[in-house]
Amino acid sequence: MQRSQVPVIYYTNLLLSNLIQMCIVTVWIIRVESTMGVIIHHLCVMAGLYFKVCIALERCFFITLPLLDCLRETRSSVLVRVLVWAFCIVSLPLALVLHQFIHLIIYAALPGALFIFCLARIFRALHAATSVPTQEKRRSLGILILLFFKYFVLIVPIIIFPHEHIRFYINWILFLLCPFVDLALCLFMRQGRIDRLLACLCSADAAADHRCD
């Protein structure tokens, strides 16, 4: 099995942010809490969210602008990775310390608009992207649908529900489900069985449309 080289850089950093979150929550379980731990946890949540945006943009540009390699070149991807971590390290602790919670809501809501943009662009460009292999189209579409689903099902409820008890339980559900969703994202990035599964699903949809006609 093969996997695109540059998305692996984003995905590795996504897994790193998840690992740090798991370590901090494990420390919280044994009743060791600190302000620094809360800041680092929120920082990693934000970093993971923006690395998902990087993956979505890379897949979108791969379909809509296949000649544009700015997010796929190794140097560019390393620069983007550094910028994401730098942005999260500077902006989020500053917003928490200054109690600028509206900035936190903006930081959390911005990826949603980008996911919608990428998904809409790919839907419009699928038939026109004749230079992109069909398997890559299916995989890219699957990745974006998964990212879209994860954001609006697992992230948006945290923004919507302000009640502390509700947010506590939603945070735990998010913590338990995120690693599995990220693992599914890794499967979509790999070539092999997932391609056959997507091909079967597309064939089933085409057959259903044919019967309806």
What's the rounded Cα separation, in Å, for the pair 161 and 163? 6
What does the pLDDT average to over 73-90? 87
| 87, pLDDT greater than 70 | yes
Residue closest to 174 by CA, chosen among 38, 39, 85, 42:
42
More reliable by pLDDT, 30 or 2 = 30
* CA 68 to chain centroid: 21
pTM above threshold 0.85: no
Q: What percent of the chain has pLDDT over 70?
A: 70
- Per residue in 12-37, pLDDT (tens digit) is 888 888 888 878 777 776 666 677 77
Report whether pLDDT(1) > 50: no
- Quote the pLDDT of residue 38: 77
Contact 55, 147 (CB under 8 A): yes
Decide if pLDDT at 46 tops 60: yes
Could you give the CA distance from residue 111 to residue 155 in angstroms, rounded to a whole number? 10
Contact 139, 126 (CB under 8 A): no
